Structure 1
Amino acid sequence: MPKPEATDAPGAVLFDVDGTLMDTVYLHTVAWWEALRQNGHVVTSARIHRGIGMGSDHLLDELLADDRDRAQDAVLKAAHDVLYAQYWSRLVPLPGAADLLRECARRGWRVVLASSASRQEAEVMTRALGADEAITAVTTADDASSSKPAPDLVHRALERAGAEPERAVFVGDAVWDVQAAGKAGVPCLGLLTGGWSREELLAAGAEAVHASPADLLSRLDSSLLAAPGRPRP
């Protein structure tokens, strides 16, 4: 197969945030567990964890019966948000996360955060990351009509980056990230920091799986992020 011609089109690396750059997956699990319990729903934390990374619309569809009173969904989401906000002052990035963003930007990638969180939550996490100078743009659940695993958020992130799908890579920690990226035509690198296994992420379509942001940073030259904007065969 002939090699694709070089182009000046920009390359972009799109990052999920919860569980990929921030150590927040289990905090969300606890907040949803308590919000559901307060409103009469008994759901195990193990089941809730498997839904983290989806938007709240898809998560509640996954966890609760189809014949539920959907008018209560907004109440459940609001309860989760209040409970989760108690952790805001203590949120911390995963080791190596900020340095990974900076190194991607230094190599010429346009760095976009693509989070299923609300705009307010995303602002809190972006401040906690402390790498504003490396970030081109941030997209949130407020920018998409449907959240992950739908591809809407990935499409919005590509638009903010001004990049085509073939010149982008998505980095995420959940199968929902891999599925959303795949539907948008963007290859995905998986991280194990969200509690999903290497086998599950690869089975969902991840190109490769790394242990953490720090691990990906240490292996950057052998990853899909080695060459900004490179064409793929």
Structure 2
Amino acid sequence: MTNTLLLDVDGTLVDTNYHHAVAWLRAFRSVGLTVPAWRVHRAIGMGGDRLVEAVAGEHAEAEHGDAVRKAWEQEFDGLLPEIRPLEGAHRLVTTAATEHGFSVVLASSGKREHIEHYLDLLDVRDVIAGFTTSEDAEDSKPAPDILQVALSTVDADRAVVIGDSVWDCDAARRIGLPVVGLLTGGFSEAELREHGASSVYVELDNLRADLVDLPFAAV
């Protein structure tokens, strides 16, 4: 029986959520839109195709959506050298794959060039079973499409989703998969549990210690 970990990347394995928020804030301002930082942070984890409208409304999306996304990419690319893996990320992935024999798929809707960069930072290319990017699904989180694509890359019998945002939880819940939350992205334990997380961990090493007890479910 093959157990599969579907691991989110941004905010879960690499410490990027606040860099993303800063990049989006700068992108909004580049087109003359001022939005509250807290509102941007609350939207991190959903797809960029949804974020402009979620943060600034339908009119902003219609008038500035593509320009904001282009500016965000430029701003975030400039921050890439500052990105670091979260403590315990490499240990979590390698322990799951090599010691427990889990299939580990990095289920991200991030841009391919960013995910490729993170794979090198994490040094996990040789142990993961696969990864996804924004190129692999039309609808981004909280839609479950990227999780379904990630599952299709392996011969999974059972799976569990691990993520840091309510959007990860919503996506997992929509296809009936259990989800485990992490506080590494800035969402609270109460919020993650309200959106379906069966358990919530403060750090990746705490999660690594409980890998065999994760709530895998049939797929």
TM-score by length of 2: 0.94
* Residue type at the aligned position of 1:176: W
Distance, in Å, in 1 between the alignment partners of 2:168 and 2:116 is: 20
Match of 1:196 among 176, 184, 187: 187
Q: Determine the structure 1 residue equivalent to 2:121.
A: 128
Q: Give the gaps of 5 or more residues in structure 2.
A: none
Question: Following TM superposition, by how much is the alpha carbon of 1:220 offset from its aligned partner in structure 2, in angstroms?
Answer: 2.7
Q: Determine the structure 2 residue equivalent to 1:158.
A: 151
Question: Using a 3 Å threshold, how does the CA distance of structure 1 residues 46 and 231 change in structure 2: closer, same or farther?
Answer: closer
Match of 2:164 among 153, 173, 176: 173
* Residue type at the aligned position of 2:120: R
Cα RMSD of the aligned pairs, angstroms, is 1.5
Q: Determine the structure 2 residue equivalent to 1:16.
A: 8
Match of 1:88 among 70, 80, 84: 80
Match of 2:30 among 18, 30, 38: 38
User: What is the SS of the residue equivalent to 1:87?
Assistant: helix
Identity of aligned residues (%): 39
User: What is the SS of the residue equivalent to 1:111?
Assistant: strand
Distance, in Å, in 1 between the alignment partners of 2:87 and 2:207 is: 11
Question: Following TM superposition, by how much is the alpha carbon of 1:219 offset from its aligned partner in structure 2, in angstroms?
Answer: 2.9
CA contact (8 A) 1:100 1:214 kept: yes
Q: Determine the structure 2 residue equivalent to 1:78.
A: 70
Question: Following TM superposition, by how much is the alpha carbon of 1:184 offset from its aligned partner in structure 2, in angstroms?
Answer: 1.7
* Residue type at the aligned position of 1:88: L
Q: Which has the larger radius of gyration?
A: 1
CA contact (8 A) 1:111 1:161 kept: no
